[in-house]
A and B are shown apart, each in its own frame.
Chain A
Amino acid sequence: MSPSERVLKVDIWRGESQGHYQSFEVPERENQTVLDVVSYIQRHLDAALAYRFACRVGVCGSCAMTVNGRPRWTCRTHVSRVTGGGKLTIAPLKNLPVIRDLVTDMTPFFEKWRDARGRFVPGDGPRDEMAEVSPDSPQRAAASAAIECINCGICYAACDVVSWRDDYLGPAALNRAWAAYNDARDGDRPGILQAMSRHSGCHNCHTHHSCAEHCPVALNPTFSIAALKRATLKAKLRGELSR
């Protein structure tokens, strides 16, 4: 780093759940993402820094971290937009176990996708004709509004209810369940509502909208969860749910 270069002060979490912040100084650039800063530190200042990324263009959802207190996708977050007084503080995502430094264990996050019945369940047998799904149908529109999730875990880290209750399925899994519920080809749509009706399901949402506020691809899991609440209540009143 030459003496004339402007310097960015960066504090980065080191360790596991117990750890400390380590300070670094990184050259400040005109165009620089938070992921660029972390990569610079790992390549030039401390090769042992653990972090996770893949695509670097906001598609894979791997690089989410807590930046100056907010969960963000670091590959698409420009430093100039988030620095407070020329300083960055970077930590792993909240609400997930820390493996090391900036890397979280996403296992609970994806286990909840499974528990929310977010996977596609095929019908009983081969269909004579391919299912016709009109792009204009309300079901398809509802699925489309929820389907572009990149599994980054940002909404999960931002959710207050997840921080209070470790069994709550969380916004991403519930948003996925709503998309799956609106898939006309799914062979077990009542099973999704049954999964939503457990104690860990959609009715725990407090409608804080933190998930929607932080979602980097502008989805609104809160709306999906509210729709799931309505669907489960209707099913309950019709006697279609076992609890």
Chain B
Amino acid sequence: MTPLSYLLQRGTAMFMAPLIIIHLIVIIMAVQGGLSAEEILARTRGSIVWGSFYGVFVFAAAIHAGIGVQTVLREWTPLGRLASANIGHTLITILWVLGARAVYAVVWA
């Protein structure tokens, strides 16, 4: 792990912590009276606030998870540094694309 990957992993963790709290509070509040998919989409569609919120969240989560998995692979499997890094970077890309696709689907689609 280099200073850059360390900074990115710890930085995304710090960044996501308040977002996760907001996410959980909103879920708990929103489901109090029961909640359907239509009601969720009615709130999220066209919302720049929720689009931005979850857009940066999935980006941070993808980076955080990718670097973490890369470290786990390096430490717990026979994979070398390069192979672990390649898998980690691929995972970052996949998670970001899937997350961005999901955000697009509930906000703009």
Given A165-B74, A165-B75, is A236 in contact with B81 using a C-beta cutoff of 8 Å?
no
Chain B residues with CB under 8 A of A165: 74-75
**A199 contacts B6, C-beta separation under 8 Å:** no
B48 CB–A CB distance under 8 Å:
no
Q: In the assembly, what is the distance between CA of A243 and CA of B3, in Å? A: 7
Chain A residues with CB under 8 A of B7: 233, 236-237
Q: In the assembly, what is the distance between CA of A229 and CA of B2, in Å? A: 10
Q: Which A residues, 213 to 243, have Cβ-Cβ distances below 8 Å to chain B?
A: 229, 232-233, 235-237, 241, 243
Contact code string B1-26 (vs A, CB < 8 Å = 1, else 0)? 11111110000000000000000000
Nearest to A197 among chain B residues (CB) is B3
Q: In the assembly, what is the distance between CA of A167 and CA of B7, in Å? A: 21
Q: In the assembly, what is the distance between CA of A237 and CA of B71, in Å? A: 22
Number of A-B residue pairs with CB-CB distance less than 8 Å in the complex they form: 35
Least Cβ–Cβ distance between A160 and chain B, in angstroms: 9
Chain A residues with CB under 8 A of B4: 236, 243
**A233 contacts B6, C-beta separation under 8 Å:** yes
A204 CB–B CB distance under 8 Å:
yes
**A233 contacts B3, C-beta separation under 8 Å:** yes
Chain B residues with CB under 8 A of A203: 1-3, 5-6
**B3 contacts A232, C-beta separation under 8 Å:** yes
Least Cβ–Cβ distance between A164 and chain B, in angstroms: 4
Chain B residues with CB under 8 A of A164: 74-76
**B75 contacts A236, C-beta separation under 8 Å:** no
Dominant secondary structure of chain B at its interface with chain A: helix
Q: In the assembly, what is the distance between CA of A145 and CA of B3, in Å? A: 24
Count of residues in B whose CB is under 8 Å from the partner chain: 12
Partner of A229, one of B6, B76, B81: B6
**A161 contacts B75, C-beta separation under 8 Å:** yes
Q: In the assembly, what is the distance between CA of A189 and CA of B81, in Å? A: 27
Q: In the assembly, what is the distance between CA of A199 and CA of B85, in Å? A: 11
Given A161-B75, A164-B76, is A241 in contact with B1 using a C-beta cutoff of 8 Å?
no
Q: In the assembly, what is the distance between CA of A114 and CA of B14, in Å? A: 34
Least Cβ–Cβ distance between A114 and chain B, in angstroms: 20
A119 CB–B CB distance under 8 Å:
no
Least Cβ–Cβ distance between A222 and chain B, in angstroms: 16
Q: In the assembly, what is the distance between CA of A212 and CA of B80, in Å? A: 29
Least Cβ–Cβ distance between B95 and chain A, in angstroms: 22
**B75 contacts A197, C-beta separation under 8 Å:** no
Least Cβ–Cβ distance between B52 and chain A, in angstroms: 26
Further pairs besides A198-B2, A243-B2, A243-B4: 18, Cβ < 8 Å: A161-B75, A165-B74, A165-B75, A197-B2, A199-B1, A199-B2, A199-B81, A201-B2, A203-B1, A203-B2, A203-B3, A203-B6, A204-B1, A204-B71, A233-B3, A233-B7, A235-B3, A243-B3
Ranked nearest first, the 9 interchain pairs of A and B with the lowest CB-CB distance are A164-B75, A203-B6, A203-B1, A236-B3, A232-B3, A197-B3, A204-B1, A243-B2, A165-B75
- 8 A–B contacts from the bound complex (CB under 8 Å): A197-B2, A201-B2, A203-B2, A203-B3, A203-B5, A233-B7, A236-B7, A241-B3
Binding site for B on A (CB under 8 A): 161, 164-165, 197-199, 201, 203-204, 229, 232-233, 235-237, 241, 243
